């Protein structure tokens, strides 16, 4: 791909600032000005527009490509929710307005959205209270573990030291528990992908602060022993945490609050179509039952008896602020609009389609790729490319093959306990035709692995960057892309 620097022609300009309309003595004092002569390309506006437009087309996104990235739920974000979130009545609101005296009259709509979202999420999950503040799923987890810690502290229980986490949990779970100051204990899974109950019983004692469970697990399966597990944890006054990032797999079919959980988070960006990618933005609302509600972050939105919505800070046992102001408000508007659009039946249908689509792909690919658990999967399924690996074609090679087929690769090498893992999540918003095309390409990859395994070393052939050294890229990050003089410098 041609770089913008290669187009540079000395003296060519793409802009004209015209004569300054401020006095020249308003210039930046030289002590603040950088003297570095930045090596910028000299190009026309058209060169720049074409360069960046072409670059943007190298990106894969859900607006351009099928994106079956397991554990990430890259589903379609309807454009009407974007339009609603951009209404000036929302975007022009100053976050401090609600706290000004008389400011209430300008913020009723925004506060109503926060209030009603909380009510709806409570109804969907079986919890008594929600906070909308956490800015991502992992941030929701941290909030939840802080609530867990506040609970034990308020009871004067200083023994609590460990959070138990099955090996099928999302990788952020142990990280969140550790950031909140707990040590973690990992519990192995049984052959069906469920938690090994004997190992759990052996690990639980008075020092157990709680358990974090990802449901459906990262193996894409539903844990069948939740009631028993929660009895074991509650017997030592532990807290049951539900990682509900992927609530789109159970929405309207199972309420975590009804089956023994005390606290959960939801990723709005996986369940209620708000955009995400590159680590943000997102929203990870946290729900709790009455055991934990008094510890929730402030502020909370309450509805006064006269029907006016106000911010309430009077929660003396609150863990305090977990985000500036009220969370990623624009994303919450999108989630609200999406729920309103679909309604009860529509939201339940999303779950049915998410699960149906994942099972469709699992069964269609089963003759070609090894499936990890021969049972109904939830919103995603995990394969192993172990058969292909015997022919010298690894999960990464299949991923690179798919890029040339204009498909974003599924998640590979996660969960880490599955060798050559390929984790596929079609999501509820993809059509049968799109999935059939993907299935065909996956079958083609399997066939090619039998007839010409060496061909895989060349993929992808259509991309400017092909196989970067991923270890080096992670360890030796260079972020100054603009000043990089060659593509390899920028990786």
Residue numbers of the site for ligand PLP (CB under 6 A)?
A: 71, 136-138, 170, 172, 214, 243, 245-246, 267, 282, 284
Minimum distance, C-beta of residue 265 to ligand PLP, in the bound complex (Å)? 8
Instruction: Pick between residue 230 and residue 267 the one whose CB is nearest to ligand PLP.
Output: 267
Minimum distance, C-beta of residue 334 to ligand PLP, in the bound complex (Å)? 15
Minimum distance, C-beta of residue 245 to ligand PLP, in the bound complex (Å)? 3
Minimum distance, C-beta of residue 8 to ligand PLP, in the bound complex (Å)? 39
Minimum distance, C-beta of residue 50 to ligand PLP, in the bound complex (Å)? 34
Instruction: Pick between residue 267 and residue 351 the one whose CB is nearest to ligand PLP.
Output: 267
Instruction: Pick between residue 223 and residue 243 the one whose CB is nearest to ligand PLP.
Output: 243
Instruction: Pick between residue 271 and residue 449 the one whose CB is nearest to ligand PLP.
Output: 271
Instruction: Pick between residue 178 and residue 483 the one whose CB is nearest to ligand PLP.
Output: 178
Instruction: Pick between residue 285 and residue 311 the one whose CB is nearest to ligand PLP.
Output: 285
Report the 3 state secondary structure along the chain.
CCCHHHHCCCCCCCCCCCCCCCCHHHCCCCCCCCCCCCCCCCCCHHHHHHHHHHHHHHCCCCCCCECCECCCCCCCCCHHHHHHHCCHHHHCCCCCHHHCCCCHHHHHHHHHHHHHHHHHHHHHHCCCEEECCCCCHHHHHHHHHHHHHHHHHHCCCCCCCEEEEECCCCCHHHHHHHHCCCEEEEECECCCCCECHHHHHHHCCCCEEEEEEECCCCCCCCCCCHHHHHHHHHCCCCEEEEEECCHHHCCCCCCHHHCCCCEEEECHHHHCCCCCCCCCCCCCCEEECCCCHHHCCCCEEEECCCCCEEEECCCCCCCCCCCCCCCCHHHHHHHHHHHHHHHHHHHHHHHHHHHHHHHHHHHHHCCCCEECCCCCCCCCEEEECHHHHHCCCCHHHHHHHHHHCCECCCEECCCCCCCCEEEECCCCCCCHHHHHHHHHHHHHHHHHHHHCHHHHHHCCCCCCCCCCCHHHHHHCCCCCCCCCCCHHHHC
- CB-closest chain residue to ligand PLP: 137
Instruction: Pick between residue 135 and residue 393 the one whose CB is nearest to ligand PLP.
Output: 135
Minimum distance, C-beta of residue 75 to ligand PLP, in the bound complex (Å)? 13
Instruction: Pick between residue 412 and residue 445 the one whose CB is nearest to ligand PLP.
Output: 412
């Amino acid at each position: 791909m041609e770089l913008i620097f290669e187009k540079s022609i000395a003296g060519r300009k793409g802009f004209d600032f015209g004569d300054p309309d401020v006095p020249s003595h308003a210039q930046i004092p030289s002590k603040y000005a950088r003297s570095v002569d930045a090596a910028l390309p000299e190009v026309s506006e058209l060169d720049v527009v074409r360069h960046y437009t072409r670059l943007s087309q190298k990106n894969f996104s859900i607006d351009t490509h099928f994106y079956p990235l397991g554990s990430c739920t890259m589903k379609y974000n309807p454009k009407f929710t974007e339009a609603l979130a951009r209404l000036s009545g929302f975007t022009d609101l100053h976050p401090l307005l609600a706290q000004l005296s008389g400011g209430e009259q300008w913020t009723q709509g925004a506060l109503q959205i926060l209030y009603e979202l909380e009510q709806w999420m409570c109804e969907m999950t079986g919890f008594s209270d929600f906070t909308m503040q956490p800015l991502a799923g992992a941030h929701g987890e941290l909030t939840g573990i802080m609530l867990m810690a506040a609970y034990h502290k308020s009871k004067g229980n200083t023994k609590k030291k460990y959070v138990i986490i099955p090996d099928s949990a999302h990788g952020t779970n142990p990280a969140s528990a550790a950031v909140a100051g707990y040590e973690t204990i990992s519990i192995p899974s049984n052959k069906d992908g469920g938690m090994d109950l004997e190992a759990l019983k052996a690990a639980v004692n008075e020092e157990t602060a709680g358990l974090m469970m990802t449901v459906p697990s990262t193996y894409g399966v539903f844990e069948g022993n939740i009631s028993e597990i929660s009895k074991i944890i509650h017997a030592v006054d532990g807290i049951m945490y539900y990682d509900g990032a992927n609530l789109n797999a159970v929405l309207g079919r199972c309420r975590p609050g009804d089956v023994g959980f005390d606290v959960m988070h939801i990723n709005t960006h996986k369940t209620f179509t708000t955009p995400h990618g590159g680590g943000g933005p997102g929203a990870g609302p946290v729900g709790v039952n009455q055991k934990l509600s008094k510890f929730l972050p402030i502020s909370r939105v309450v509805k006064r008896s006269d029907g006016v919505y106000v911010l309430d800070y009077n929660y003396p046992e609150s863990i305090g602020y977990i985000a500036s102001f009220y969370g990623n408000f624009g994303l919450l508007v999108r989630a609200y609009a999406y729920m309103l659009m679909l309604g009860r039946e529509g939201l339940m249908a999303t779950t049915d389609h998410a699960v149906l689509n994942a099972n469709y792909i699992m069964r269609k690919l089963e003759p070609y790729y090894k499936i990890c658990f021969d049972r109904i999967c939830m919103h995603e399924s995990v394969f192993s490319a172990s058969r292909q690996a015997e022919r010298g074609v690894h999960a990464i090679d299949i991923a690179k093959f798919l890029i040339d087929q204009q498909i974003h690769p599924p998640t590979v090498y996660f969960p880490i306990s599955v060798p050559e893992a390929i984790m596929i999540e079609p999501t509820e918003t993809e059509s049968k035709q799109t999935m059939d095309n993907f299935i065909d390409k996956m079958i083609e990859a399997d066939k090619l692995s039998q007839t010409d395994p060496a061909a895989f070393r060349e993929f992808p052939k259509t991309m400017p960057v092909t196989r970067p050294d991923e270890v080096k890229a992670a360890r030796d990050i260079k972020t100054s892309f603009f000043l990089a003089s060659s593509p390899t410098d920028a990786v």
